[in-house]
Amino acid sequence: MPCSPRLLEQKTPVTPIGYGAMSLSAYYTNTPEPDSKRLAFLDHVYATGQRFWDTANNYGDNEELIGKWLALNPDKRKDIVLATKFGQVGGGPGRNDAAYARECCERSLEKLQTSYIDLYYVHRVDTAVPIEKTVEGLVGLVREGKVRHIGLSEVSPQTLRRAHAVHPIAAIQMEYSLFALDVEKPKTDLLNTTKELGVALVAYSPLSRGLLSGRLKSPDDLEEGDFRRGIPRFFPENFHKNLELDEKLHTIAARNGITVGQLALAWLLAQGDNVIPIPGTKSIDYFNENMGALEVELGMQDLREIRAAAEKADVRGHRYAVETSPNSYFADTPPLE
């Protein structure tokens, strides 16, 4: 049975699997494809019925690219729930003060060639600004019609609760995959918190940056300029140990006639009606494969086996370069005085 749409704030329907557009522009390559090819790819994304698109103001020319597509297809803007982000400054703490949020929003609106942003995320929280002040600034943008929903990324449950008390938070974006189960752990209790508050959990890197794609066999498969070369999880001394989970999942996937990637996405969808994976790719074939996970219905025995494999896996290496870690995991902000 096809997966039903997910909801933002219990009112805005989105595709159960979103599309993360980052790889069209940045981080995985030094040489993005020509605009003509990337715009044609977005044509395909739209034609398949995919309506939840994710970008950010620090993804190279990604906002500009989507803006070009929207300018060529103005009648289709209303169909798309478009998410972007602000506040991540290099690898250090975010900047979230109200003036900066407004400045970034205005710039993103210009680049995206749109009058509103459906979902505006705080990409990384500001360790110097109480989250209440950040949300108050974003509420001003909501009142002006420039932003429709507010989101957060990589926050603690305490930060989410504080933000949600100021204004409803529609979604939080966290890394969540069979390689990254931290949102479920009692220490964080973040998945349960989102369900309690009615907040969507948008799972970025749901295929663990390719480790769950079934296609990566060696760190040498990564091209020069690919940021994964700097992530400890992909270092040679860790990579092959991490692939052991992929190999265990392959047996379950083969039994169901699906790929490991489809299995990983279908498993996430089964973790709650508020969970929305946003895999990214620049390949039409891989995009179609990812969206095929919407047709996958895993049995209870499969779900138990998958979880057991993930929980027993000896995952090696951090999910980010160590120097970016302090503000990249379940971050808090100062208390409001």
Q: Which of 273, 261, 268 is nearest to 203 (CA)?
A: 268
- Residue whose structure tokens are 């002040």: 133
Task: Tell me the three-class secondary structure of 209-274, residue by residue.
Answer: HHCCCCCCCCHHHCCCCCHHHHCHHHCHHHHHHHHHHHHHHHHHHHHHCCCHHHHHHHHHHCCCCC
- Residue whose structure tokens are 């400045």: 103
Other Cβ atoms less than 10 A from the Cβ of 154: the count is 23
Q: Which of 110, 155, 160, 153 is nearest to 132 (CA)?
A: 160
**What does the DSSP 8-state code read for residue 328?**
T
The greatest distance separating any two alpha carbons of the chain, rounded to the nearest whole angstrom, comes to 56
Would you please indicate which residues are annotated as catalytic (active-site) residues? 59
- Rounded to the nearest 5 degrees, what angle is found at the Cα of 251, between the Cα atoms of 180 and 268? 35
User: Cβ contacts of residue 185 below 8 Å, gap of 6+?
Assistant: none
Q: What is the DSSP string of 289-322?
A: HHHGGGG----HHHHHHHHHHHHH----S-SS-G
Confirm if 170 and 135 have CB atoms less than 8 A apart: no
Long-range contacts of 190-195 (CB under 8 A, 24+ apart): 190/156, 190/157, 190/160, 190/330, 191/271, 191/272, 191/275, 193/157, 193/160, 193/161, 194/160, 194/272, 194/274, 195/272, 195/274
